[in-house]
């Protein structure tokens, strides 16, 4: 295997610990005990001028006195000593360092200490874990470089876990017995080495099956995307707990990390593009990591579950319905085998309540679960019971699942309906056998839902569906026109014209500036009409009472126009009144980190009342647009409900595809596009309102 640039950081051949101490519970003492007391096979050198010996080893006064040049220097010193320590590390010739302190001085000069350290490291081409972090555990290499006491045992396994919070770092790797790690990193403020770099290193390790991230922000967007693409190529799933979704939380992340938290909609779009599994809390993260660390992939079909309780079965069935998880339809041959092994009165079905009596229950349960897992319609399964150590039924069910697990390559799990259970012994046994034990019905079902969603992502990932291509000549013409425009937005008529030029169906319209042109335009378009102000700077026309709809006569039109002239000005837009339909909002946003994204949502006033939206990185193809619509509650209206006919959904898909391509081609010129609503009826999907905001940071032609 070729050498990675992070090898000196994460699997060094030698390491020096600067600031070690014998003072009880001090960072220096914890660090020394953690490294010296481990099975790390590299050379370890202790550095502190106050000691001649420590932990039975020589202690050196400084790096200059070391007999060899080490790969990695750990700096366990206060902020006031960091600059000199990093300078000494660089002069020593080390290629990596770990720094725990915050890098903030009470009385500091410009540039700040953090910036000075970053510049020193960049000039010397040295990798740093930190600053303001808790270090790292290179578990596969038995190197634990931390300053807080770790758990007595961190299980070796296939999870690479990278956290931008120290407490998040310890939450997973210092607790429990069901997750196995090859790497755990507290990334800190990442002055040289980013989350993306740790991901890249992990993806090159042969023992990585899944990557878990606790993410506040992304400091190197390009490298992060490269890492996600690499994960896709290697078929290694990425699980992310992304914080900073609410305005207050985002502000907290800003003050905590000194970095931009970012628009969460953009991260959702990015995660969707690369199949990232996004979770909402640590329980959900741990649950899906348990499934993924086994390396078993969901087959075709749905979920199966076995119970020894009818009440538990109903509870889980209700939860599965809420989450949209389908239970597999069983083959007749499967039902026959199950029927043969059930007590009278029980029904062979999925989910299955298998408990009837004690009579040979272990053999009967195993036969039923084995039949379920052999069924071609079953993709994965679980035996759901409240497991506790020392309980005969729990121990029997564990033996059953362990036996069935050896018979199948499909994902299989033990799961509970409650979390406060004494089952650490069973948990350790299950982990050693490669079987997840997941606490909680909700967490269990969420984990399997993520597993099935990831299966669907992989199914479509490599399909080369064609993307809409825009003609170069009109693109160039519009680029020049937008570059010359000095306004923050372009007028609605011009926005509609741009959309129309690139295959978005727009409402029939004209701009007027006096009564004579108003009346002539009305006759050409035909009643009923919509009249809007077209004065520059009025972006939200309804808020200014600048929109009149369903105008049926010349008299009404003249009256409304007179009102607009007096209040807002003479420039107005006259457009056709489109036949009623489902209102859909389309929008794009050009994110400074990840580029343009497109949003599809329930339109009209519903866009603000309902959290019903789907986002994607631009451009999208027809299949991706269809998936976006299918994920929305408003999709039911598109398909027709309560006697209303289905609308032209394909026309809406075409509009989404076209708009995504516009946003992609014009990312240098256009900051945002807002179309609300697109009216979708039986015949067409028509954009009836459009706002385009220009990118003021664009380069002028």
Locate the domains of the chain by residue range. Answer: 1-149, 151-293, 320-461, 465-507+580-701, 509-577
Q: What's the rounded Cα separation, in Å, for the pair 160 and 202?
A: 6
What is the model's pLDDT at position 206?
95
CATH topology of domain 465-507+580-701: D-amino Acid Aminotransferase; Chain A, domain 1 (3.30.470)
Residue 256: its pLDDT value, please?
Answer: 36
Could you report the per-residue pLDDT of 619-669, keeping only the tens digit for each?
A: 999 999 999 999 998 999 898 877 678 899 999 999 999 999 999 999 999
Look at the block and give the residue holding tokens 């457009």: 575
Q: How many CB atoms lie within 10 A of CB 498?
A: 22
Q: Are 183 and 202 in contact (CB under 8 A)?
A: yes
Q: What is the pLDDT of residue 255?
A: 39
Check if the beta carbon of residue 660 is closer than 8 Å to that of residue 619.
Answer: yes
- Which uninterrupted H or E stretch holds 315? helix 310-323
Distance, CA of 570 to CA of 536 (rounded, Å): 11
Mention every residue, 6+ apart, whose C-beta is less than 8 A from residue 204: 1, 4
**CATH number belonging to the domain at 1-149, selected among 3.40.50.720, 3.40.50.2300, 3.40.50.620, 3.30.830.10:** 3.40.50.720
Burial class (CB in 10 A: 0-12, 13-18, 19+), 666: buried
pLDDT of residue 247: 60
pLDDT at res. 465: 67
Q: Are 219 and 194 in contact (CB under 8 A)?
A: yes
Select from 21, 125, 156 the least CA-distant residue to 76.
Answer: 21
Q: Are strands 57-60 and 53-54 parallel, antiparallel or unpaired?
A: antiparallel
Residues in the chain: 701
What class has domain 320-461? alpha beta
Q: Determine the pLDDT at residue 93.
A: 97
pLDDT of residue 153: 83
Q: What are phi and psi of 626, to 5 degrees?
A: -65, -40
Rounded to whole angstroms, the Cα distance separating 10 from 98 reads 10
Residue with tokens 């079953």: 378
| Secondary structure string (H, E, C) spanning 563-630 | HHHHHCCCCEEEEECCCCCEEEEEEEEEECCCEEEEEEEECCCHHHHCCCEEEEECCCCHHHHHHHHH
- Asked whether the beta carbons of 281 and 172 are under 8 A apart, the reply is no
Sorted by sequence, the CB contacts under 8 Å of residue 280 that are 6+ apart come out as 241
The class of domain 151-293 in CATH terms is alpha beta
Whole-number Å distance between alpha carbons of 403 and 401:
5
The answer to whether 111 and 120 are in contact (CB under 8 A) is no
Beta strands in 82-206 (DSSP E): 96-99, 127-129, 135-138, 143-145, 156-163, 181-186
* Distance, CA of 209 to CA of 393 (rounded, Å): 33
Q: Max CA-CA distance within the chain? A: 100
63 secondary structure, DSSP code: G
Task: Please say whether the beta carbons of 372 and 304 come within 8 A.
Answer: yes
Q: Which residues pair with 616 in a beta bridge?
A: 598
Q: The tokens 């003072």 sit on which residue?
A: 23
Q: Are 404 and 365 in contact (CB under 8 A)?
A: no
Give the CATH number of domain 509-577; options: 3.30.1490.20, 3.20.20.70, 3.90.1150.10, 3.40.50.300: 3.30.1490.20
Same fold, 1-149 and 320-461: yes
Residue 231 CA to residue 205 CA, distance in Å, equals 12
CA dihedral 439, 211, 154, 420 (to 10 degrees): -10
Q: Cβ of 107: how many Cβ atoms within 10 Å?
A: 4
Phi-psi region of 190 (alpha: psi -120 to 50; beta: other; left: phi over 0): left
129 backbone φψ class: left, alpha, beta (φ>0; ψ -120 to 50): beta
d(CA 648, CA 696): 37
How far apart are alpha carbons 695 and 589 in whole angstroms? 10
**Opening angle at CA 182, ends 158 and 172, nearest 5:** 85
Owner of token pair 């050409």: 524
pLDDT at residue 263, as a whole number: 78
* pLDDT for res 53: 95
Residue 699's pLDDT is what?
43
Dihedral angle sign, alpha carbons of residues 484, 485, 488, 494: negative
pLDDT < 70: residue spans in the chain: 1, 246-262, 462, 464-465, 604-611, 643, 697-701
**b/e burial code for range 139-177 (CB count within 10 A of at least 16 → b):** bbbebbbbbbebeeebbebbbbbbbbbbebbbbbbbebb
pTM value is: 0.90
């Amino acid at each position: 295997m070729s050498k990675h640039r992070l090898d000196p950081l994460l699997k060094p051949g030698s390491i020096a610990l600067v600031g070690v101490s014998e003072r009880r519970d001090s960072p220096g003492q914890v660090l020394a005990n953690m490294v010296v007391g481990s099975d790390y096979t590299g050379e370890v050198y202790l550095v502190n001028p106050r000691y001649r010996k420590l932990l039975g080893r020589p202690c050196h006064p400084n790096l200059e006195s070391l007999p060899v040049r080490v790969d990695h220097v750990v700096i366990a010193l206060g902020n006031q000593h960091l600059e000199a320590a990093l300078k000494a590390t660089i002069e020593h010739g080390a290629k990596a360092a770990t720094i725990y302190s915050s890098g903030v001085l009470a009385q500091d000069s410009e540039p700040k200490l953090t910036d000075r350290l970053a510049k020193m490291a960049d000039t010397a081409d040295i990798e740093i874990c930190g600053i303001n972090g808790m270090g790292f555990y290179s578990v596969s290499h038995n190197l634990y470089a931390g300053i807080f006491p770790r758990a007595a045992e961190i299980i070796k396994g296939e999870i690479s876990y990278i956290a931008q919070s120290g407490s998040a770092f310890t939450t997973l790797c210092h607790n429990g017995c069901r997750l196995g790690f090859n790497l755990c990193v507290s990334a800190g403020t990442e002055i040289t080495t980013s989350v993306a770099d740790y991901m890249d290193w992990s993806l090159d390790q042969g023992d990585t099956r899944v990557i878990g991230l606790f993410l506040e922000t992304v400091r190197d967007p390009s490298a992060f995307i490269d890492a996600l693409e690499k994960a896709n190529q290697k078929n290694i799933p990425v699980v992310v707990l992304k914080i900073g979704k609410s305005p207050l939380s985002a502000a907290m992340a800003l003050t905590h990390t000194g970095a931009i938290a970012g628009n969460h909609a953009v991260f959702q779009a990015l995660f969707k593009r690369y199949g990232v599994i996004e979770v909402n809390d640590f329980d959900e993260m741990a649950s899906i990591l348990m499934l993924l660390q086994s390396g078993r992939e969901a087959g075709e079909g749905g979920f199966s579950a076995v119970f020894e309780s009818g009440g538990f079965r109903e509870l889980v069935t209700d939860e599965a319905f809420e989450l949209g998880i389908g239970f597999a339809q069983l083959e007749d041959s499967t039902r026959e085998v199950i029927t043969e092994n059930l007590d009278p009165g029980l029904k062979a079905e999925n989910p299955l309540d298998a408990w009837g009596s004690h009579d040979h229950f272990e053999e009967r349960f195993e036969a039923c679960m084995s039949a379920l897992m052999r069924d071609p319609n079953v993709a994965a399964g679980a035996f759901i019971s409240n497991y506790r150590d020392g309980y005969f039924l729990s121990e029997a069910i564990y033996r059953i699942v362990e036996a069935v697990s050896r018979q199948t390559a499909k994902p299989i799990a033990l799961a509970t309906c409650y979390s406060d259970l004494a089952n650490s012994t069973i948990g350790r046994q299950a982990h050693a056998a490669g079987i997840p034990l997941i606490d909680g019905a909700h967490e269990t079902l969420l984990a399997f839902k993520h597993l099935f969603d990831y299966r669907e992502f992989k199914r479509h990932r490599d399909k080369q569906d064609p993307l809409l291509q825009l003609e170069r000549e009109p693109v160039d013409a519009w680029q020049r026109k937008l570059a010359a425009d000095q306004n923050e937005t372009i007028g609605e008529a011009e926005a509609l014209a741009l959309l129309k030029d690139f295959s978005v169906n727009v409402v029939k319209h004209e701009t007027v500036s006096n009564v004579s042109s108003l009346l002539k335009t009305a006759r050409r378009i035909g009643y009923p009409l919509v009249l809007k102000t077209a004065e520059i700077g009025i972006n939200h026309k309804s808020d200014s009472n600048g929109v009149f709809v369903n105008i049926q006569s010349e008299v009404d039109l003249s009256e409304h126009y007179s009102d607009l002239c007096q209040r807002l000005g003479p420039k107005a837009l006259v457009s056709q009144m489109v036949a009623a339909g489902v209102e859909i909002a389309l929008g794009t946003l050009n994110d400074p980190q990840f580029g343009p994204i497109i949003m599809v949502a329930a339109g009209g006033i519903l866009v603000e009342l309902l959290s019903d939206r789907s986002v994607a990185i631009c451009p999208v193809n027809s299949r991706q647009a269809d998936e976006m619509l299918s994920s929305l509650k408003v999709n039911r209206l598109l398909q027709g409900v309560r006697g209303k006919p289905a609308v032209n959904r394909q026309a809406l898909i075409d509009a989404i595809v076209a708009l995504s391509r516009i946003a992609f081609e014009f990312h240098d010129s256009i900051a945002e596009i807002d179309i609300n609503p697109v009216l979708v009826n039986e015949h067409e999907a028509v954009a009836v309102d459009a706002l385009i905001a220009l990118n003021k940071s664009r380069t002028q032609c």
